[in-house]
Structure 1
Amino acid sequence: MPFTVLAVCTGNICRSPAVEVLLRGVLDGSVTVGSAGTHAVVGHPVSAPMAELLTADGFPATGFAARQLVPTLVERADLVLALTPAHRAAVVEQVPGAVRRTLTLRELGRLSGTLGPGAVAGSDDAARLAALLPAAVAERPRHAGREHDDVVLDPYGHSAATYRRSYDQLVDALTPVLEVLRA
């Protein structure tokens, strides 16, 4: 049975589709990855500056069309990756039962970074992600009481440098997650 990941941002044309494209490019076929926006620009492709960054790293963003976040998408997702705490709140407001499987991307990256080698096991990426979610959530008490920046910068309408900073935040957050999956 596939494991489903849903990335959520505002317009679904910059941050969340970049997460979708990056994860699709590195995870095996046991994982289904999608994205949506809380105020999606429905039907639009990935914004040109973000698409250029993805393509330059070998992850072409072709065939993408933005879609609106609806409860059905959240209900079908095994893991929801929000790009800001506000997006996380919007997901949980739509589907309160998703609270334990909805994290900000940067939170998942931070929590994954404190897991040791061999923290998750499985025969494919679906099994490893299914093991990663409770392991990462169990790390939350170790991070309690500290200030964390869980916002991935929204680059829409800003400079190429802002797109680069946003993209780098995405990659930086995904790196420890992928390291745990591959350990």
Structure 2
Amino acid sequence: MTGGEVRFTVLTVCTGNICRSPAAERLICRDWAAGAPTIEVVSGGTRAMVGDPIQISMAHLLEQSGAYSGEFCAQTLTGELVHDADLVLGMTRRHRAAAVALAPAATSHTFTLREFARLVVDGADDFTPSEDRAASLRRLVDVAASRRAPITDPTLDDIADPYGQGLDAYQLAFSEISTAVDTVGRVLTGSPLLESASGVTAEPSPSGPEAPAPERRRIWGRRR
């Protein structure tokens, strides 16, 4: 949570609120809200392990990335949390649905994290960053909402729960979270995107044995 007068609140949601949503919360704090005291980032769980810290494997991954993992207590997702948020980011479609069920008025600004990153990239040409980070985030939410459309494989918008699994599962979840957060952050600041980073939930294109290997290129976003 940031100090000062809060003008924009981001809420991340998972199940236990000890792995995925706190990782997203801390990365968003670092990448979207750094130097912006008007932005608050919180998280909650649909079946939260209330009072628990961030799970140790995820905490290590956060620290290795340069994000802070301390001073965290898991909390239950409530209608008040959803109602007070300007952007709600579930880790899966079930978490998105759970948030909307608690506060239906939040539907227009509730997404999964990967869905939000995908839609932000899709609408990047209609977005111009500004020095006011809270206002920029508000515009990004509008851009993403205007780009909503069904995709062939909706599971691409989900981030699997690593809890109770091996380190590989935590690394995969963390990689998907950090890629999505970084992608949005780059659009938010007008920084260049690698194509591999911008396609956070891109559906695979048909290919055959004679299909050429995709060319790696850079996509350049607008600068301030």
The structure with the greater share of residues assigned to helix is 1
Alpha-carbon distance, 1:116 to partner:
3.0
State the one-letter code of the partner of 1:176: T
Moved more, 109-118 or 58-67: 109-118
**1:78 and 2:86 correspond:** yes
Question: Hey, what does 2:208 align to over in structure 1?
Answer: none
* RCO higher in structure (CA 8 A, sep ≥6): 1
* Alignment correspondent of 2:143: 135
Separation in structure 1 between the aligned mates of residue 124 and residue 107 of structure 2, nearest angstrom: 25
1:23-172 → structure 2 map (5 Å cutoff) = 23-26=28-31, 27=33, 28-117=36-125, 119-141=127-149, 144-148=150-154, 149-172=156-179
Structure possessing the higher radius of gyration over alpha carbons: 2
Give SS of 2:124's match.
coil
Which string of whole-angstrom CA distances, capped at 9 and with x for unpartnered residues, describes residues 25-82 of structure 1? 1222221000000000000000000000000011121100000011111111000000
Normalised TM-score (structure 2): 0.77
Question: Which ranges of structure 2 fall in alignment gaps of 5 or more residues?
Answer: 1-5, 191-224
Query: Matched residue pairs, number?
Result: 181
Report the AA paired with residue 174 of structure 2: Y
Identity across the alignment (%)? 40
The aligned residue for residue 6 of structure 1 is 11
Moved more, 119-128 or 88-97: 119-128
| 1:104 CA drift (Å) | 0.4
Shift of 1:145: 4.5
SS in 2 for 1:140: coil
* TM-score with structure 1 setting the length: 0.94
The answer to whether the 8 A contact 2:129-2:189 is kept is no
Cα distance in structure 2, aligned partners of 1:88 and 1:47: 22
Deviation readout 1:143-164 (Å, 9 max, x if unpaired)? x353231111100010001000
Aligned partner letter, 2:137: L
Counterpart of 2:27 in structure 1 is: 22
- TM-aligned CA distance change 1:162 to 1:145, over 3 Å: closer
Instruction: Show structure 1 runs of 5+ residues with no match.
Output: none
Give the counterpart letter for 1:156 in structure 2. Y
Alpha-carbon deviation of 1:118? 6.3
